[in-house]
C-alpha cells in the first residue's frame, strides 16, 4: 500500500511518501473539569504544565492543550473562561521549548494561543464553529487540524446518520479543505482528522478506522484521535479491565495508534504517550529496514 505525496506541516516533522519520517505523537492536556477521560485532573495551571512536560519526556512530539470539553453532551464555556484556562499553560510549555497545539473552535482563542507560542491550531469543527477561524489561520500562516464535524457536542449524536460514512466523511473533509484553501490557508498547513466519535456511532468509527487509506488519499496529512474513546470499549473484556472506564481502554488505544501509524497517518492524538511513541518508532524502524513508506 502506497501513500500519496502529502504536505509536511510543522517543518521537518511532517510525512513524506519517500521518507521514513515517523508518525507524530500528540499528547493530550485537558485543562477542563469535564473532559470524558481526565476532566479535573489538570485544571490547575501548574498541574497541567507538569503533565505536558511529562508527556514530552514520555516521547510526545507535540502537546495539545484544550480548555473546552467536546465530549458528547458537553456544554460550551465562554471564550473568556477558555482563554483563562489555556493561555498560561500554552505560554509556559512553549517557553520550556515544547511544541504546543491549541485545541479550540474559537478564532480569538487560537489567535491568543499562537501569540503565546502555539505552533498548531486543532479545530475540531474544521472551521465551521467560528467563521473567523479560517481567515485567521490564513493570515497567521499557522498549521491547522481540520476535523470532520457536524454539530456541537450537545446535539452532535443527532447528526450521526450516513449512507456511506467513509465516503461522506471524506467528501465533507474535502469541502473543509477547499474552504480553507479558498480563505488563503496554504495547502502545506492543513492536516485532516476524521473525527472519530463525533456525530458517529461506534460502528461508524470502526468503519473509518478500517478505511484510513481512503481518507489519506485526499492528499493531506491525517491525524487520528481514537484514544480512550467509547467505541474502543467493546475490545476491552480481558484481565479484569472494564471498557466503561476510559483509562482501561489504553491497551486498545495503543493498538489503534499502531495501526494508524502503520497505515500512514501523520499523527496520533493520545492520552498514554509512551506506548504510542514506541509504536511510532517501531513502525518507522520497520520502514527503514524494508525501504518502504506507508
The position carrying cell 465533507 is 172
Give the residue among 286, 291, 283 at the shortest CA–CA distance from 22.
283
Grid cell locating 22: 515517523
Instruction: Quote the CA–CA distance of 111 and 18 in Å, as a whole number.
Output: 34
DSSP 285: H
Instruction: Quote the CA–CA distance of 226 and 215 in Å, as a whole number.
Output: 15
DSSP states of 109-146 as a string? HHHHHHHTT--EEEETTTT-S-TTHHHHHHHHT-EEEE
Give the residue among 113, 115, 88 at the shortest CA–CA distance from 101.
113
- Please list the active-site residues: 229, 269
Handedness of CA 164, 169, 174, 176 (dihedral sign): positive
DSSP states of 181-246 as a string? HHHT--GGGEEEE--TTTT--HHHHHHHHHTHHHHHTTSS-BEE--TT-GGGGGG--STT--TTSG
Grid cell locating 142: 499557522
Amino acid at each position: 500500500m502506497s501513500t500519496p505525496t502529502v504536505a509536511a506541516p510543522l517543518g521537518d516533522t511532517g510525512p513524506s511518501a519517500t521518507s521514513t519520517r515517523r508518525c507524530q505523537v500528540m499528547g493530550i492536556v485537558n485543562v477542563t473539569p469535564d473532559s470524558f477521560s481526565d476532566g479535573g485532573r489538570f485544571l490547575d495551571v501548574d498541574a497541567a504544565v507538569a503533565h505536558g512536560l511529562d508527556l514530552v519526556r514520555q516521547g510526545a512530539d507535540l502537546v495539545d492543550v484544550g480548555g473546552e470539553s467536546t465530549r458528547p453532551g458537553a456544554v460550551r464555556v465562554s471564550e473568556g473562561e477558555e482563554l483563562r484556562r489555556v493561555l498560561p499553560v500554552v505560554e509556559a510549555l512553549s517557553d520550556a521549548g515544547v511544541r504546543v497545539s491549541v485545541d479550540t473552535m474559537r478564532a480569538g482563542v487560537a489567535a491568543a494561543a499562537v501569540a503565546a507560542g502555539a505552533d498548531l491550531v486543532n479545530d475540531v469543527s474544521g472551521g465551521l464553529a467560528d467563521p473567523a477561524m479560517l481567515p485567521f489561520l490564513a493570515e497567521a500562516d499557522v498549521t491547522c487540524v481540520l476535523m470532520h464535524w457536524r454539530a456541537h457536542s450537545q446535539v452532535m449524536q443527532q447528526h450521526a446518520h450516513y449512507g456511506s460514512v467513509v465516503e461522506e466523511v471524506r467528501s465533507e473533509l474535502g469541502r473543509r479543505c477547499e474552504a480553507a484553501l479558498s480563505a488563503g490557508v496554504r495547502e502545506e498547513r492543513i492536516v485532516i482528522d476524521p473525527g472519530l466519535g463525533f456525530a458517529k456511532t461506534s460502528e461508524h468509527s470502526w468503519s473509518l478506522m478500517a478505511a484510513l487509506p481512503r481518507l489519506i488519499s485526499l492528499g493531506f496529512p491525517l491525524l487520528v484521535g481514537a484514544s480512550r474513546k467509547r467505541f474502543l470499549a467493546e475490545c476491552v473484556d480481558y484481565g479484569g479491565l472494564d471498557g466503561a472506564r476510559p483509562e482501561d481502554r489504553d491497551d486498545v488505544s495503543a493498538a489503534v495508534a499502531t495501526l494508524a501509524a502503520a497505515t500512514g497517518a501523520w499523527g496520533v492524538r493520545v492520552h498514554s504517550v509512551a506506548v504510542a511513541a514506541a509504536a511510532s518508532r517501531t513502525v518507522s524502524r520497520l520502514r527503514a529496514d524494508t525501504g518502504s513508506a506507508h
